[in-house]
Amino acid sequence: MAEVTEFITYTLKHPENDHSAAFDSAVSTLESLDGVTAVYHGTRLEDPTLHLIIISWTSHDAFTEFAASEAYTPWLANLKTFAAKPTFYQAHLDPSPTQALDAPCTEIMVAYGIEKPEFTQNLKLFSDRMTEGGKAGALKGWHSSTQGEVTTKIARDPDGTPADAALLLIGWDSKAAHEAAKAAPGPIRDNIYLLRTAVDSVQMFHSILEKL
């Protein structure tokens, strides 16, 4: 079964307590599951009030087994004691996102309202070209690129209409390394056009993720 990556985005109900016992309990439960291979946490560098938990599942079946278990409802209730209005989505990312998530800084791009198959083909091509450029030394500070479709329709805004979406993750030495690569002639400039068609909107941010 294909690995699946889950993203949980939220703000804190109690910002003065950003590392609570409830958070530790939620993570501990996830780490105890056979179907979970890694759990990450971080905030958006562009907006530190937005928190992100990323869960690496061995398969979608592993997640659904947990979601159907007696442990899921109390786990979710516990999560909501510290997470305000959490949003959840999953994606099948190719290649494995481990290197991008383990990098010192992870660029995450969410594409909303994509047209298939045009955008998904363009996204894979962009990711492949980033990988080619990174391995050739044309992207200083690059670690890894991965991409894939979100498994369910999602909306960018809470009152928006859910639609098809996709993700791009790129690992970098730092946010500054990404910005320098973007500003210089090279693979990003040469291929950014691929991400500007067949999509309603794109949201990009960076996070320094801690592997828990």
Domain boundaries, the chain: 4-91, 98-206
Q: Of 9, 6, 77, 63, whose CA–CA distance to 33 is shortest?
A: 63
CATH 3.30.70.100, applies to 98-206: yes
User: What's the confidence (pLDDT) of residue 15?
Assistant: 83
Is-contact 91 149, C-beta < 8 A? yes
User: What's the confidence (pLDDT) of residue 14?
Assistant: 86
User: What's the confidence (pLDDT) of residue 11?
Assistant: 96
In this structure, the dihedral spanned by the alpha carbons of residues 11, 196, 104 and 173, taken in order and rounded to 10 degrees, is: -150
User: What's the confidence (pLDDT) of residue 1?
Assistant: 57
Is-contact 75 23, C-beta < 8 A? no
Site of tokens 């594409």: 111
Is-contact 133 156, C-beta < 8 A? no
Model pLDDT for residues 17-38, shown as the tens digit of each residue? 766 899 999 999 999 999 999 9
Structure tokens at 124: 């894979």
- Maximum pairwise Cα distance, the chain: 54
pLDDT tens by residue, the chain, 212 residues: 589 999 999 999 988 776 689 999 999 999 999 999 999 999 999 999 999 999 999 999 999 999 999 999 999 999 999 999 999 999 999 999 999 999 999 999 999 999 999 999 999 999 999 999 999 999 999 999 999 999 999 999 888 999 999 999 999 999 999 999 999 999 999 999 999 999 999 999 999 999 99
User: What's the confidence (pLDDT) of residue 16?
Assistant: 77
3-state secondary structure of 33: coil
4-91 and 98-206: identical CATH topology: yes
CA-CA distance, 166 to 147, in Å (whole number)?
A: 7
User: What's the confidence (pLDDT) of residue 131?
Assistant: 98
User: What's the confidence (pLDDT) of residue 71?
Assistant: 96
End-to-end CA distance of the chain: 24
Q: Crossing angle of helices 21-31/72-82, nearest 10°?
A: 150
CA-CA distance, 131 to 136, in Å (whole number)?
A: 8
Q: Of 175, 71, 166, 173, whose CA–CA distance to 126 is shortest?
A: 166
- Looking at domain 4-91, its CATH class is alpha beta
User: What's the confidence (pLDDT) of residue 156?
Assistant: 93
CB atoms within 10 A of CB 161: 11
